[in-house]
């Protein structure tokens, strides 16, 4: 591919500026993302005293455990996780996401082994630092803006990296180690960026659904196109016939176990006398096996069964990239995400070192673009598409254009006054 050198300099300028502004945030995101990958192992150790119990001969009924949990929990539980190990306390769940709390009942003694409030955990703080910089919705928008510019950094970086005078192994695929520190660190940054660029796009795709503006727009598109969760997934419109006594939780758990669902299985409790029991499983390693099944709370009769194929394609794609982002597809995925977090940290650090070596005193060293360069329609179209897909990026571009316009107006005024 023959490169337009003027375009190359223009893209290099904006890659440089955007990278310099984004660099501290990218380092923070890569480091906190890498730490969060250890959530399961960390919490297994720190929460062991709450989640694990001493195995005894007999267990008390789950219905009785539910009654104990209702009295002990901060909020009345709306679901229960089915235990798959004998030394595991029974987990009763209240709320979702950041509002989630779990009370654990010893199935042998009926004692409360402890309660875990998600927002009070160490890993929740790491996640909030990663997702919103501990600044609430304002921080979420900053992270979304940085993530949007990261897409631009990847695209512009690939163009700048692309050789204009033929291919060479050194400098394009492996770093040059005998041409000075600046060249070495520049190569570390550029070559690492090349090798992980595709994976970074996929990782970013898995993070965008959590954002405010893009995430909200994506949900709107899902709703309009009817490609999200179907109403039946949440059991909307389903009712239990209250003619008899409700079945016990033990009976409901027996029915859930008979389904032999893989992964973590949860029973959602009925909401009121007309509500239904709902059984669902979370199995990120094989999303296609996930189901949501609803039962009459009085007869135990299956009312409706939803398979993963009943979920709209955009929601299925969204859940796939989000699971990939969190390394939930197994050991290979976890290792890959950890490697990407480490390489992104190395790549960003190398860029900073290269900049500091290159920078002259009293100057930021921003690359210069020939005055004769004009942005073509192709670049304008690409920027327009990115601005529509990533609204915060579009807003930032408008601000940059406004700043450039003000600078030009000031220059014209200075020339006019000097004449």
Tally of structural domains, the chain: 3
Select from 311, 330, 346 the last residue of a domain: 311
Establish if 88 belongs to a structural domain: no
Select from 263, 286, 311 the last residue of a domain: 311
CA distances from 45 to 39, 42, 52, 120 (A): 10, 5, 11, 16
Residues 14, 4 share a domain:
yes
Residues 299, 162 share a domain:
no
Q: What is the pLDDT of residues 31-69, one digit of tens each?
A: 999 999 999 999 999 999 999 999 999 999 999 999 999
Establish if 356 belongs to a structural domain: yes
pTM of this prediction exceeds 0.75: yes
Quote the CA–CA distance of 91 and 72 in Å, as a whole number: 12
Q: What is the pLDDT of residues 375-398, one digit of tens each?
A: 889 999 999 999 999 999 999 999
Residues 146, 12 share a domain:
yes
How much is the pLDDT for 417?
61
Residues 345, 201 share a domain:
yes
**Mean pLDDT, rounded, for 397-401:** 91
Q: Comparing 264 with 98, which gets the higher pLDDT? A: 264
Residues 212, 176 share a domain:
yes
CA distances from 225 to 40, 235, 247 (A): 36, 20, 39
* Residues of the chain above pLDDT 90, percent: 76
Residues 324, 220 share a domain:
yes
Residue 266 maps to which CATH number?
3.10.450
Q: 184-198, 255-269, 290-304, 397-411: which range is least confident on average?
A: 397-411
Residues 200, 326 share a domain:
yes
Residues 294, 222 share a domain:
no
Select from 295, 311, 327 the last residue of a domain: 311
Contact between 152 and 386 under an 8 Å Cβ cutoff? The reply is: yes
Establish if 34 belongs to a structural domain: no
How much is the pLDDT for 192?
93
How much is the pLDDT for 25?
96
Residues 407, 274 share a domain:
no
Establish if 114 belongs to a structural domain: no
Quote the CA–CA distance of 7 and 262 in Å, as a whole number: 53
Angle CA 285–81–300, to nearest 5: 105
pLDDT band at residue 129 using 50, 70 and 90 as cut-offs:
very high
Q: What is the pLDDT of residues 282-319, one digit of tens each?
A: 999 899 999 999 999 999 999 999 999 999 999 999 99
pLDDT band at residue 358 using 50, 70 and 90 as cut-offs:
confident
Residues 341, 282 share a domain:
no
Please classify residue 334 by burial: count the beta carbons closer than 10 Å to its beta carbon, then call 0-12 exposed, 13-18 middle and 19+ buried.
Answer: middle
Domain boundaries, position 382: 377-419
Establish if 317 belongs to a structural domain: yes
Establish if 83 belongs to a structural domain: no
**Mean pLDDT, rounded, for 136-157:** 96
Q: What is the pLDDT of residues 68-82, one digit of tens each?
A: 999 999 899 999 999
How much is the pLDDT for 66?
97
Residues 219, 320 share a domain:
yes
Establish if 177 belongs to a structural domain: yes
Quote the CA–CA distance of 144 and 207 in Å, as a whole number: 9
Return the sign of the alpha-carbon dihedral for residues 237, 238, 241, 245. negative
Residues 263, 170 share a domain:
no
Establish if 164 belongs to a structural domain: yes
Q: Comparing 239 with 410, which gets the higher pLDDT? A: 239
């Amino acid at each position: 591919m023959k490169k337009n050198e003027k375009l190359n300099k223009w893209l290099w300028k904006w890659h440089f500026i955007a990278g310099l502004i984004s660099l501290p945030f990218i380092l923070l995101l890569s480091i906190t993302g890498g730490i969060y990958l250890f959530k399961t192992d960390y919490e297994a150790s720190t929460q062991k005293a709450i989640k694990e119990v001493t195995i005894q001969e007999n267990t008390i009924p789950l219905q009785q455990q539910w009654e104990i949990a209702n009295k002990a929990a901060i909020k009345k539980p709306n679901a229960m996780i089915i235990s798959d190990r004998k030394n595991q306390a029974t987990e009763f769940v209240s709320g979702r996401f950041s509002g989630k709390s779990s009370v654990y009942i010893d199935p042998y003694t009926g004692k409360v082994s402890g309660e875990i409030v998600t927002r009070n955990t160490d890993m929740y703080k790491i996640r909030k630092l990663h997702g919103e910089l501990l600044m609430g919705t304002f921080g979420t928008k900053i992270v979304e803006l940085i993530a949007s510019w990261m897409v631009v950094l990847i695209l512009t970086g690939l163009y700048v990296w692309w050789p204009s005078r033929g291919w060479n192994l050194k400098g394009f695929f492996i770093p040059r180690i005998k041409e000075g520190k600046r060249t070495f660190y520049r190569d570390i940054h550029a070559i690492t960026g090349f090798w992980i660029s595709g994976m970074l796009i996929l990782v970013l795709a898995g993070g965008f659904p959590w954002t405010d503006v893009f995430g909200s727009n994506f949900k709107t598109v899902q709703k309009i196109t009817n490609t999200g969760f179907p109403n039946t997934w949440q059991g909307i419109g389903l009712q239990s016939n209250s003619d008899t006594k409700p079945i016990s939780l033990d009976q409901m758990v027996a029915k859930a176990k008979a389904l032999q669902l893989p992964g973590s299985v949860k029973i959602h409790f009925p909401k009121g006398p007309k509500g239904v029991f709902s059984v669902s499983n979370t199995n990120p390693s094989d999303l296609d096996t996930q189901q949501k099944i609803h039962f009459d709370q009085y007869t135990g009769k299956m009312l409706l069964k939803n398979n993963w194929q009943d979920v709209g394609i955009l929601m299925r794609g969204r859940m796939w990239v989000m699971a990939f982002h969190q390394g939930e597809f197994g050991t290979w995925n976890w290792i890959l995400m950890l490697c990407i977090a480490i390489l992104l940290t190395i790549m960003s650090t190398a860029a900073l070192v290269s900049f500091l070596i290159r920078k002259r005193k009293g100057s930021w060293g921003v690359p210069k673009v020939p005055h004769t360069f004009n942005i073509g329609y192709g670049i304008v179209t690409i920027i327009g598409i990115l601005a529509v897909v990533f609204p915060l990026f579009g807003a930032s571009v408008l601000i940059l254009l406004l700043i450039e316009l003000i600078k030009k107006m000031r220059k014209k005024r200075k020339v006019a006054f000097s004449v």
